[in-house]
Every structure is written in structure tokens, then in C-alpha cells.
């Protein structure tokens, strides 16, 4: 079954994104089976980069920033991909959640931070605080296909721009081709890559030159040895 699924993924990638993309995905998956390995595509978007005004509209949905107390009830149902523990950690950093509601139902959300933020148990993402970091976007399966993730980001982007922020920074894994296509269509621009590897109790990261202007880099959580490099 696993082999059949892998063959199906390769075929789909070739058909939709080309042979080179399919080979890249195979390479990333192969290395990741041997060690924790990812290539992060760093990206940024400013309000003037959003060309389609429809990305600021979601008829029938209410969009707003929402606090921990209101989100707590959704953490209990297990259907929204976050826990009470995550909410506490996000609150401790002062992170904010922008959500879209269908009546009382939480349809989609995204999180926004101005401080260094963990990307997993091994690495923390750093960035220029003049920008706001967008992470953990999620759309409930019943609402997918309505571009709610993009709409939520654009509305949050507009609010942060009004507060004097330059825009949003984020990342997508290099072999997540559907997400790369979606975010670039929305207006995001890829500015560089970060390579991260964790193996044998050591964390290694390397950021390309384009990341420098955004202070975009990954560092170890501090619990293991680390090697970090960023192109000058």
C-alpha cells in the first residue's frame, strides 16, 4: 500500500509540476527517511503585492482576530489541529490568531508572531521584527476549496500593515508544490532557502543569501549541538 501511494504521488507530481519537481520530492523524502531533513522556501508578501481584491473578501464568513479564551472550546473537540497546550505557548509569545467563522463554526485560521518561533522540536525560526511571521494556517476540511487560507492571510496582512509592519514572512517546504503554487498566486515572493538537518543529536542549518535582508534564519532549540551558516 505504501509503495502504491508513493508511485501515485510521483505520477501526480510529474503530471502537475514536471519531472524535475518529482525528482526533487523523491530526493527530499529519501534524505528525510535517514535523518530529519527539510528545505524551507522563505517568502514575503506586502499589501501592494496582493493583486486580486477577491483575496480580501469572503462572503458569508466573519473574519477577525480571536483570543485564547474563545479558541479554547475548539481545542477540546480535536477537529481544529491545535491543543490547549499550543494556545498557552502561543499566548506566552504574544502571538495572535486571525480566524474566519461560518456562524459559530471555526472554518479557518492562521497564527502571527513578532518573536522567534519554534518550527519543530529541534529548530527555532528567527526573522526581522519589522515583519510579522505567519505560521500554522489551517482550514477545516469541510471548508477547503474556498481560498479561506489566502483570504485570512490577506486580511491579517492588511491589519498588520495598518499597524506599521512591513508585511508577512513565512515559509513552505520546497516539495510542497500545491502550497507553493497557492502562495505565489496570492502574492508571496520567494526570497531564499534554508536547509535544516537534525541527526545524531546535532542540528545543522544553512540559509542562502536572499534570507539575509529579512533576518530569516533557523537556530537550534539549544538542547543539542548546532552548526548554523548564512551566506554573506
Domain ranges (residues) in the chain: 1-34, 35-230
**Residue 48 confidence (pLDDT):** 97
CB 217 within 8 A of CB 126: yes
Closest to 101 in 3D by CA, of 70, 69, 55: 70
Note whether 73 and 172 are within 8 A (CB): no
> With a cut of 70, which residues of the chain have pLDDT below it?
1-35, 222-232
**CA-based nearest residue to 209, from 193, 190, 226:** 193
Torsion of CA 8, 15, 170, 99, to 10 degrees: -70
Asked if residue 163 lies in contact with residue 127, where contact means CB atoms within 8 angstroms, the answer is no
**pLDDT recorded at residue 33:** 67
Name the burial class of residue 109, with classes exposed (0-12), middle (13-18) and buried (19+) by CB atoms within 10 angstroms of its CB.
buried
Query: Residue 6: what pLDDT?
Result: 46
The rounded radius of gyration (Å) of the Cα atoms in the chain is 18
pLDDT at 72: 92
* CATH of range 35-230; options 3.90.180.10, 3.40.630.30, 3.30.379.10, 2.40.30.170: 3.40.630.30
3-class SS of residue 142: helix
How confident is the model at residue 156, as a pLDDT?
A: 98
Residue 106: the pLDDT is 96
pLDDT score recorded for residue 225: 46
Amino acid at each position: 500500500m505504501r509503495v502504491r501511494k508513493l508511485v501515485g504521488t510521483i505520477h501526480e507530481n510529474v503530471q502537475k509540476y514536471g519531472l524535475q519537481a518529482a525528482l526533487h520530492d523523491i530526493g527530499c523524502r529519501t534524505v528525510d527517511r535517514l535523518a530529519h531533513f527539510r528545505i524551507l522556501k522563505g517568502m514575503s508578501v506586502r499589501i501592494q503585492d496582493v493583486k486580486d481584491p477577491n483575496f480580501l473578501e469572503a462572503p458569508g464568513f466573519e473574519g477577525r482576530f480571536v483570543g485564547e479564551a474563545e479558541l479554547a472550546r475548539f481545542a477540546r473537540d480535536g477537529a481544529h489541529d491545535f491543543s490547549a497546550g499550543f494556545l498557552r505557548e502561543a499566548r506566552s509569545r504574544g502571538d495572535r490568531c486571525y480566524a474566519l467563522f461560518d456562524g459559530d463554526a471555526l472554518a479557518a485560521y492562521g497564527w502571527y508572531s513578532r518573536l522567534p518561533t519554534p518550527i519543530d522540536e529541534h529548530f527555532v525560526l528567527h526573522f526581522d521584527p519589522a515583519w510579522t511571521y505567519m505560521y500554522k494556517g489551517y482550514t477545516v476540511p469541510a471548508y477547503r476549496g474556498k481560498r479561506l487560507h489566502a483570504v485570512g492571510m490577506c486580511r491579517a496582512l492588511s491589519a498588520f500593515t495598518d499597524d506599521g509592519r512591513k508585511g508577512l514572512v513565512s515559509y513552505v517546504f520546497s516539495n510542497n508544490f500545491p502550497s507553493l503554487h497557492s502562495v505565489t498566486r496570492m502574492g508571496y515572493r520567494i526570497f531564499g532557502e534554508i536547509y535544516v538537518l537534525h541527526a545524531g543529536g546535532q542540528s545543522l542549518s544553512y540559509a542562502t543569501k536572499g534570507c539575509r535582508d529579512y533576518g530569516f534564519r533557523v537556530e537550534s532549540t539549544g538542547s543539542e549541538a548546532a552548526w548554523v551558516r548564512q551566506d554573506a
